Amino acid sequence: MKFLIINGPNLNLLGKREPGIYGENTYESLCARLKEFAAEHGSTAECFQSNHEGAIVDAIQAADGAYDAIVMNPGAYTHYSVAILDALKAVSVPCVEVHISNIHQREEFRHKSVTAPACVGQICGLGLYGYEAAMGYFLAREKRG
């Protein structure tokens, strides 16, 4: 499988930004971990991060026909980006939404995901493992046919 891993605003600051919530690992180490996980399963993973909504929309649109699955942490855009929701609905590439923290244990505004309805599922609160869990879901789904 070919995975596109999309990360939204501020995820480039992993390891620096609120390590008590997001952990000590850097964004670079996350990408290396996910590429290694994919390779161990005969797959590839490309990481994309942007702090700009339009760039994320462009990446989703460009994924159509180029990737088998998207694993996306939209960051703050989770809670208000209809543009990202619409882009996910417009492509034939399935997506699992991932959040490092448990968004349901945080501030009230973080409980609602605008983008999740366009995804096959949502994983939150499992730390960086959530990305691997999402990839594992797609790998198992492909195996079952």
Report all structural domains of the chain as residue ranges with CATH numbers, in order of start: 2-144 (3.40.50.9100)
95-127 pLDDT, tens per residue?
Answer: 999 999 887 766 676 668 999 999 999 999 999
* Residue 129 falls in the annotated catalytic set: no
Catalytic residue among 41, 67, 99, 131: 99
48-95 pLDDT, tens per residue?
Answer: 999 999 999 999 999 999 999 999 999 999 988 999 999 999 999 999
pTM of the model: 0.92
Give 75's contacts (C-beta < 8 A, 6+ positions apart): 7, 8, 9, 10, 11
Strand order across the 121-124 sheet: 44-49, 2-7, 69-73, 95-99, 121-124
The single-letter DSSP state of residue 109 is: G
**Which pLDDT score is estimated for 18?**
66
Catalytic residue among 22, 27, 67, 131: 22
* Residue 99 falls in the annotated catalytic set: yes
Closest CA to 35 of 77, 8, 5: 5
Q: Which residue has the tokens 């543009």?
A: 83
